[in-house]
Amino acid sequence: MPSASLWRPALPEPDIEGGFGLYVHWPFCQSKCPYCDFNSHVVDRVDQVQWRDALAAEIRRYAEMVPHRILQTIFFGGGTPSLMHPETVAHLIETARAAWPTANDLEITLEANPTSVEADKFRAFRVAGVNRISMGIQALNDADLRTLGRLHTVREAQDAFRIARSEFDRVSFDLIYARQNQTLTAWRDELKRALSMAVDHLSLYQLTVEDGTAFGDRAARGLLRNLPDDDGAADMYDATQDICGAAGLIGYETSNHALPGSESRHNMIYWRYGDYVGVGPGAHGRITLETGKYATEAVRQPEAWLKAVREDAGTPAIDERLSEPDQAVELMLMGLRLKEGIDLDRYSRLAGRPLPADRIERLEIQGLIRQDRDRLRVTMKGRPLLNAVLRELLFD
């Protein structure tokens, strides 16, 4: 933990590139999905008032560290934030608005599961101040929904989506592809059905089997069978780009597609390497103070986090001052996911040197990246090979 002197507030509204947002983590779920490695916990009962007050206290504590910033976005993630009471959400939004000056077009996103119980609260969430819903549908096939551990059916998801569209101008939903037994033809058909639901934003993720998850355990025992091979998954990725592009939903980030102007502004803060406060168990943050830019991470276990807030104002479990070269690496790791790429001058300022010209040239010849004056972008050909591109550019 830095000494108190290092936690001096940031200077009044520094011109920090990338923007400023708030992430609120609600760690509770009705069930744990077998692919999920997020910090989520299944409990019988949650004291909403106790958690509301603790999260509000953390928002106010961070506002003392980084005052005067203009808050552009709030994102309620989890876990399952749609299990929060709308009154809890409203209180936290009011707390954030009182803590920082806010942009006129403040984006407030809430992640939601498409069950009928949660859909019934959409109007109350809108009244609370939420203006964007991100819905975890994950599949448009009932058998695959069961395999993924989801508690809703396709019909329930479609009904919940219609309710959300009636209450909110901006609604996104997630799908997972490269699932067990899934063929390229089946994914193309499913994606076209998704696009027929008149969305303006889609998050489309390739299934990743993570250690420590139920799927990870099954895979280690040889029980997670019939996943597409690497070539099959790559074909699904290519089809995703083609089909979404033809529908006008541009792949503005590796896994995210939107009509122009409908991009997730909160997530853009991450990818443009801006500043964001993270409150709640396990929440990460990046904040710029007078003494530099810090990475923060809160205590992961919910009860331990709650105890920390009560006893010592919730000091982060991890807070590390990032060197400028480390910031340059993070800028690349995040920014090259975006279609717009990164500002090479910003990278050079942070790294203390430009990227090696010979490596850029080599990757350009291979058609994996494109340098356009002061910006560096990964091409459509290079996107599936992003990790290899990053290794070539950043590491010896």
pTM for this model (two decimals): 0.93
Q: What residues make up the domain containing 357?
A: 324-396
Please spell the DSSP secondary structure of 259-278, one letter per residue: -TT-S-HHHHHHHTT-EEEE
Contact 71, 38 (CB under 8 A): no
* Pair (234, 99) in one structural domain: yes
Contact 363, 392 (CB under 8 A): yes
Mean pLDDT of 111-115: 92
* Pair (247, 338) in one structural domain: no
| CA-based nearest residue to 227, from 173, 180, 184 | 180
Query: pLDDT by residue (tens digit) across 252-302?
Result: 999 999 999 999 999 999 999 999 999 999 999 999 998 899 999 999 999
Mean pLDDT of 122-145: 96
Is the pLDDT at 177 greater than 70? The verdict is: yes
C-alpha triplet 271, 277, 278: angle, nearest 5°: 95
Q: Is residue 133 part of a domain?
A: yes
Query: pLDDT by residue (tens digit) across 190-238?
Result: 999 999 987 899 999 999 989 988 888 888 898 889 999 999 999 999 9
pLDDT of residue 315: 62
* Pair (258, 328) in one structural domain: no
pLDDT of residue 313: 56
Q: In degrees rounded to 5, what are phi and psi of residue 292?
A: 135, -175
Mean pLDDT of 140-147: 95
Q: In degrees rounded to 5, what are phi and psi of residue 355?
A: -65, 145
The domain that holds 57 is classified in CATH as: 3.20.20.70
Q: Is residue 274 part of a domain?
A: no
Q: Is residue 58 part of a domain?
A: yes
The share of the chain scoring above pLDDT 90, in percent, equals 80
* Structural domains in the chain (count): 2
pLDDT of residue 280: 96
Q: Is residue 286 part of a domain?
A: no
* Pair (110, 40) in one structural domain: yes
The Cα–Cα gap between 279 and 340 comes to 29
Q: Are strands 292-297 and 201-206 parallel, antiparallel or unpaired?
A: unpaired
Contact 265, 107 (CB under 8 A): yes
pLDDT of residue 119: 80
| CA-based nearest residue to 332, from 286, 392, 275, 284 | 392
* Pair (263, 377) in one structural domain: no
Going by pLDDT thresholds of 50, 70 and 90, the confidence category of residue 60 is very high
The domain that holds 345 is classified in CATH as: 1.10.10.920
The Cα–Cα gap between 70 and 139 comes to 37
* Pair (264, 340) in one structural domain: no
What is the side-by-side order of every strand in the sheet holding 250-253? 250-253, 256-258, 201-206, 170-177, 132-138, 102-112, 71-78, 20-26, 275-279, 284-289, 292-297, 318-322
Mean pLDDT of 94-107: 97
Structural domain ending residue among the three candidates 224, 241, 269? 269
Q: Is residue 189 part of a domain?
A: yes
| CA-based nearest residue to 278, from 98, 99, 77 | 77
What is the rounded average pLDDT for all residues in the chain? 91
Structural domain ending residue among the three candidates 229, 251, 269? 269
The Cα–Cα gap between 282 and 304 comes to 11
Contact 67, 10 (CB under 8 A): yes
Query: pLDDT by residue (tens digit) across 322-366?
Result: 999 999 999 999 999 999 999 999 999 999 999 999 999 999 999
| Structure tokens given for 341 | 């790429």
Q: Is residue 306 part of a domain?
A: no
Structural domain ending residue among the three candidates 243, 269, 295? 269
Q: Is residue 109 part of a domain?
A: yes
Instruction: Tell whether omega for the bond before 79 is within 30 degrees of 0, i.e. cis.
Output: yes
